[in-house]
Amino acid sequence: MILSVSRRTDIPNYYSDWFYNRIREGFVYVRNPMNPRQVSKIRLTPQVVDCIVFWTKNPAPMMERLEELKAYQYYFQFTLTGYGNDVECNVPHKKEVMIPTFQKLSEKIGKERVIWRYDPILFTKKYTPEYHLKAFEQIAGALQGCTDKCVISFVDFYAKNKAGMKELGAYEPEKQQMMEFAEKLSRIAGRNSMEIGSCAETLDLEKCGIRHNCCIDKQLIESIIGCSIYACKDKNQRPECGCVESIDIGTYNTCKNGCKYCYANHSQESVLKNCAKYDPASPLLCGKIGEEDRISQRKVQSIREEQLRLF
């Protein structure tokens, strides 16, 4: 299986101790977001975890312990944008902290295992297309040689982030403006020796030199682990998403990055309430098993083709 850590919250930044405990004990509990009383017990042994995909804005808290993952294969989706703390409230200073962190991680694990995400892109009176192009070029120049790939997307307007978008005064440009903007991003990425792709984007950017991307990428995973895998498209994601199937072990309403565009948190109050339950020793992230909870063992197995042939 492919383990997603996590689309729902920034586990490397805020819950790395919990994650390493789960790896050491070899299992994790995950609540079903649609049916909270239903809890899955998921094995996390190297025999069934083919690759781990980390999603984060700051992997620094887990970087000194990466040796504990030596039995696993993994890569990072590292979000690094030009926003200030008015948008990404609790993310450290980009130039002083996050760019050096990206460079250090790349040096530690290899540039092919660190994907740069400049997303989501939103436009306001402050964060104009010109602002983004300048920020993107500065970051791309600093990351040249530290990654092979950049992923972009334009912000989606959801009910969950509506208030944040309104507070920022975010707007959607005309299609032609977005295409011209995307083409300029593509040129900047090319000048810095980076492939550029889009994430779950409804707008076709192929003419701009930007391909539809797979964030949980079958081809990349096969390259990292050194063999073929049997993996289907993830039916639980949006139609535009090219990711293959994975199991996410995160919990909604637990991310403390405080990003105004976030769709994974209902409110700051819900985040504070859930984070107060955090126990690094618990099998469950930000919670405990109650009397009404039903725990079932989820059937998982390696999807390496060499393993599947054995059965």
Tens of pLDDT, residues 258-308: 999 998 888 889 999 999 999 999 999 999 999 999 999 999 999 998 755
How far apart, in whole angstroms, are the C-alpha atoms of residue 116 and residue 199?
12
State how far the alpha carbon of 278 is from the alpha carbons of 17, 26, 109, 286, 294, in Å: 11, 19, 29, 4, 20
Residues of the chain with pLDDT under 50: 309-311
Question: Which residue in 52, 59, 18 sits closest to 287, CA to CA?
Answer: 18
- Residue 156's identity, in one-letter code, is D
Residue with tokens 């105004």: 260
Question: Which residue in 211, 182, 174, 176 sits closest to 196, CA to CA?
Answer: 211
Question: Are 6 and 254 within 8 A, CB to CB?
Answer: no
How far apart, in whole angstroms, are the C-alpha atoms of residue 14 and residue 310?
39
Assign domain 2-308 one CATH number from 1.25.40, 3.30.70, 3.40.190, 3.20.20: 3.20.20
Tokens matching residue 22: 């789960």
- pLDDT, residue 202, reads 78
- pLDDT, residue 307, reads 57
- Residue 230's identity, in one-letter code, is Y
The tens digit of pLDDT for each residue in 220-249 reads: 999 999 999 999 998 888 777 889 999 999
Question: Which residue in 171, 93, 97 sits closest to 127, CA to CA?
Answer: 171
Beta bridge partners of 52: 3, 74
How far apart, in whole angstroms, are the C-alpha atoms of residue 131 and residue 228?
42
Question: Are 31 and 287 within 8 A, CB to CB?
Answer: yes
